[in-house]
Amino acid sequence: MTVLSTGTDIPAFTLLGPVEATLHGMPVPLGPPQRRAVLVPLLLGAGRVCSTDHIIDAVWGAAPPGKAYNAVQAHISVLRRMLEPERAPREPSRVIQSIGRGYVIGPREFSADAFQFRQQVGEAATARAQGDVTQAAKVLREALDLWHGPALLDVPGPFAQAHRERLAEERLAAYEELVDLELAAAKGPLDHDLTELLREHPHRERLHGLHMRLLHHNGRRPDALAAYAAARKRLAEDLGLDPGPELQALHRAILADDHPPPRTEAIVVSSATASPTARTEPGRLPQAPVMVGRTSELSALATLLRDRANCPRVLVVHGIPGVGTTALALSAAAQFPGARYLLSSSSDGAERAAVLGRIAAGDRSLLVLDGAVDPRQAELGLPTDGRCTLLITGNNRMRALPFVTRVELRPLDVAGSRALLRAAIGDDRADSAPAAFEWLAEHCGGLPKVLQAVADYLTSRPEWDLGEYVDNLIAMQTDDYAFVNARIRPFFEAAYSRLPDRAAHVLRTAALHPLGTFSMHGVAAMLRRPVQYVELVLDELVDHNLLDGVAPGRYRYHPLVRQFALGRSVAVDPVEQQAQTRHRLAQYFLARLRAAVSGKGTRGPEYSRTWVSEHRTQLERLLARLPQDSNLVRESCALLAWLQSPSAPVGRPA
Classify residue 149 by its DSSP letter: S
Closest by alpha carbon to 1, among 114, 107, 106? Answer: 107
| pLDDT tens per residue across span 2-24 | 334 444 578 999 999 999 999 98
pLDDT band at 548 (very low <50, low <70, confident <90, very high): very high
pLDDT band at 242 (very low <50, low <70, confident <90, very high): confident
Please say if the pLDDT value at position 28 is more than 90: yes
For the chain, give the longest Cα–Cα distance: 102
> How far is the C-alpha of 627 from the C-alpha of 616, rounded, in Å?
18
Which pLDDT value is given to residue 14?
Answer: 95
Residue 272 burial (CB count, 10 A) = 14
> How far is the C-alpha of 313 from the C-alpha of 48, rounded, in Å?
11
Size of the chain in residues = 654
Average pLDDT over residues 301-305: 88
Burial class (CB in 10 A: 0-12, 13-18, 19+), 361: middle
Least confident of 91-105, 489-503, 558-572, 631-645: 631-645
Task: Confirm if 315 and 304 have CB atoms less than 8 A apart.
Answer: yes
- Please report, for residues 43, 71, 74, 109, the alpha-carbon distance to residue 2 in angstroms, rounded to integers and kept in the order given: 12, 30, 28, 8
More confident residue, 471 or 38: 38
In sequence order, which ranges of 218-261 are alpha helices (DSSP H)?
221-239, 245-255
Which pLDDT value is given to residue 348?
Answer: 67
> How far is the C-alpha of 569 from the C-alpha of 527, rounded, in Å?
14
Angle, helices 68-83/52-60, rounded to nearest 10 degrees? 100
Mean pLDDT computed over every residue of the chain: 83
Q: Which amino acid, residue 297?
A: E
The answer as to CATH 1.25.40.10 being correct for domain 115-152+166-255 is: yes
> How far is the C-alpha of 565 from the C-alpha of 504, rounded, in Å?
9
Which pLDDT value is given to residue 309?
Answer: 73
Please say if the pLDDT value at position 52 is more than 60: yes
Question: Could you say which architecture CATH assigns to the domain 295-408?
Answer: 3-Layer(aba) Sandwich (3.40)
At the topology level, CATH places domain 489-644 in Arc Repressor Mutant, subunit A (1.10.10)
> How far is the C-alpha of 443 from the C-alpha of 558, rounded, in Å?
11
Please determine whether the domains at 12-111 and 115-152+166-255 fall in the same fold group of CATH.
no
Please say if the pLDDT value at position 639 is more than 80: no
- How many contiguous H segments (helices) and E segments (strands) does the chain have? 26, 15
In the chain, what are the domain boundaries?
12-111, 115-152+166-255, 295-408, 414-475, 489-644
Question: Could you say which architecture CATH assigns to the domain 12-111?
Answer: Orthogonal Bundle (1.10)
The b-or-e profile of 176-203 (16+ CB within 10 A means b, else e) is: bbbbbbbbbeeeeeeeeebeebbeeebe
Q: Whole-prediction pTM value?
A: 0.58
Q: In what order do the strands lie in the sheet with 405-408?
A: 339-344, 365-370, 388-394, 314-318, 405-408
